[in-house]
């Protein structure tokens, strides 16, 4: 587990403990809605490609949250929905990072191509 993942899991544990102590007594529709929106944002950001594990975790937590809400276990539903939201945010962040790395790699390739072209043209100009 990476240090950042460990920190995220620690935050989740603290949030879970906090929510368990004073959890909702009514359906957590606002938390479920936010988790659903976060999951959709992660999916549209390319998380399936760049962060499939985190995306799958977010999907699993949201499914469990919806099931808990259907059982009227609202405290558990709120905790699971929060965990889904955190997983979704992490997946979206990893997607942005993956896309940025790809852009950097593409620019490096372009620079190398330009350097080769410049070297070839420089050699041709010096021969004349």
Which pLDDT tens digit goes with each residue over 75-104?
999 999 999 999 999 999 999 999 999 999
Residue 7, Ramachandran bin (φ over 0: left; ψ between -120 and 50: alpha; else beta): alpha
CB 69 within 8 A of CB 22: no
In whole angstroms, give the CA distance from residue 61 to residue 4. Answer: 19
Is it the case that residue 122 has pLDDT exceeding 60? yes
The domain ranges of the chain are 3-96
Helix (H) or strand (E) holding 83: helix 74-127
pTM for this model (two decimals): 0.69
Longest C-alpha distance within the chain, in Å?
85
């Amino acid at each position: 587990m990476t240090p950042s993942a460990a920190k995220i899991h620690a935050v989740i544990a603290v949030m879970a403990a906090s929510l368990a102590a004073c959890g909702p007594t009514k359906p957590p529709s606002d938390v479920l809605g936010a988790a659903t929106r976060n999951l959709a944002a992660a999916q549209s950001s390319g998380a399936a490609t760049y962060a499939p594990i985190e995306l799958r975790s977010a999907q699993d937590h949201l499914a469990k949250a919806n099931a808990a809400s259907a059982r009227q276990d609202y405290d558990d539903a709120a905790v699971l929905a929060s965990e889904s939201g955190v997983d979704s945010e992490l997946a979206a962040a990893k997607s942005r990072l993956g896309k940025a790395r790809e852009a950097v790699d593409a620019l490096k390739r372009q620079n190398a191509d330009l350097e080769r072209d410049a070297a070839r043209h420089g050699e041709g100009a010096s021969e004349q």
